[in-house]
Structure 1
Amino acid sequence: MVIYSIVIPIYNEEENIREMYRRIVEVMEKLEGETEVILVDDGSSDRSLHFMREIHQRDRRIRYISFARNFGHQIAVTAGLNFVRGKVTIVMDADLQDPPELILDMVEQWRQGYQVVYAQRISRKKENWFKRFMAYSFYRILRILADVDIPADTGDFCLMDKQVVDVLNSMPERNRYIRGLRAWVGFRQTAVQFERDPRFAGKEKYTFGKSLGLAINGIVSLSKMPLKLATYLGIISATVAILMIFMVLYWRLIDLATPLIGYTLITIALFFLGSVQLLCLGILGEYIGRIYEEVKGRPIYTVKEISNSE
Structure 2
Amino acid sequence: MYEFTIIVPVYNEEDNLERVEQELLAYTKIATKKTAILFVNDGSVDKSEQLIKEICKRNEAFDYISFKENRGLSAAIKAGFDHVSTQLLGYIDSDLQTSPEDFNVLLEHIGEYDLVTGVRADRKDSFVKNMSSRIANGIRRAFTHDGMDDTGCPLKVIKTDYAKRIPMFKGLHRFLPAMILLQNGKILQVPVRHFPRIAGKAKFGLWNRLLGPLMDCFAYLWMKKKYINYEVKQKE
Matched residue, 1:14: 14
2:115 equivalent in structure 1:
116
Measured after TM superposition, the shift of residue 124 of structure 1 is 1.4
SS in 2 for 1:118: strand
Tell me the equivalent position of 1:244: none
Q: Measured at CA, do residues 217 and 91 of structure 1 come closer, stay the same or move farther in structure 2, by a change above 3 Å?
A: farther
| TM score, norm. by length of structure 2 | 0.85
Give, in whole Å, the separation in 2 of the partners of 1:114 and 1:17.
Answer: 31
Q: CA RMSD in A?
A: 2.0
Provide the TM-score with structure 1 as the length reference: 0.66
Question: Distance between the aligned counterparts of 1:217 and 1:130, measured in 2?
Answer: 20
Runs ≥4 in structure 1, deviation > 3 angstroms? 173-176
Gaps of 5+ in 2: 224-236
1:184 aligns with 2:179: yes
Q: 2:204 aligns to what SS in structure 1?
A: coil
For the residue of structure 2 that corresponds to 1:45, the secondary structure is coil
From 170, 179, 185, the counterpart of 1:175: 170
Aligned to 2:158: 160
| Paired AA for residue 123 in structure 2 | R
Structure 2 contact 6–36 (Cα < 8 Å) conserved: yes
Q: Give the whole-Å Cα distance in 1 for the aligned partners of 2:200 and 2:171.
A: 26
Task: Report if aligned partners of 1:40, 1:65 keep a CA contact under 8 Å in 2.
Answer: yes
> For the Cα contact (< 8 Å) 1:8–1:92, is it kept in 2?
yes
Q: Take 1:66 and 1:151, find their aligned partners in 2: how far apart are those partners?
A: 31
Pairwise CA distance, 1:68? 0.5
How many residue pairs are counted as aligned between the two chains?
A: 219
1:131 corresponds, among 129, 138, 141, to 129
Q: Secondary structure at the match of 1:133?
A: helix
User: Larger Cα Rg: Structure 1 or Structure 2?
Assistant: 1
Could you tell me how far apart the structure 2 residues matched to 1:167 and 1:150 are? 21
Asked if the contact 1:177–1:221 (Cα under 8 Å) also holds between the matched residues in 2, the reply is no
Summarize deviations over 1:62-118 as a string: whole Å, max 9, x none.
11111110000111111111101111100110000121111111111124x222110
Alignment gaps of 5+ in structure 1:
225-286, 288-310
2: CA distance between counterparts of 1:77 and 1:115? 17
Distance in structure 1 (CA, Å) of the matches to 2:189 and 2:140: 18
1:154 positional shift: 2.6
* C-alpha deviation, 1:213, in angstroms: 5.3
- The superposition leaves residues 217-274 of structure 1 with CA deviations (integer Å, 9 ceiling, x where unpaired) of 43122236xxxxxxxxxxxxxxxxxxxxxxxxxxxxxxxxxxxxxxxxxxxxxxxxxx
Q: Percent of aligned positions with the same letter in both sequences?
A: 26
Q: Distance in 1 between matches of 2:8 and 2:68?
A: 17
1:209 alignment counterpart = 207
Deviation readout 1:147-175 (Å, 9 max, x if unpaired):
4425122324200012312322xx2x533
Residues 78-117 of structure 1 correspond to what in structure 2 (within 5 A)?
78-111=78-111, 113-117=112-116
Shift of the alpha carbon at 1:2?
Answer: 1.9
Whichever residue aligns with residue 123 of structure 1, its letter is D
Q: Which has the higher helix share?
A: 1
From the superposition, tell whether residues 149 and 32 of structure 1 become closer, same or farther in structure 2 (CA, over 3 Å). closer
- The answer (yes or no) to whether the contact 2:180–2:187 under 8 Å persists in 1 is no
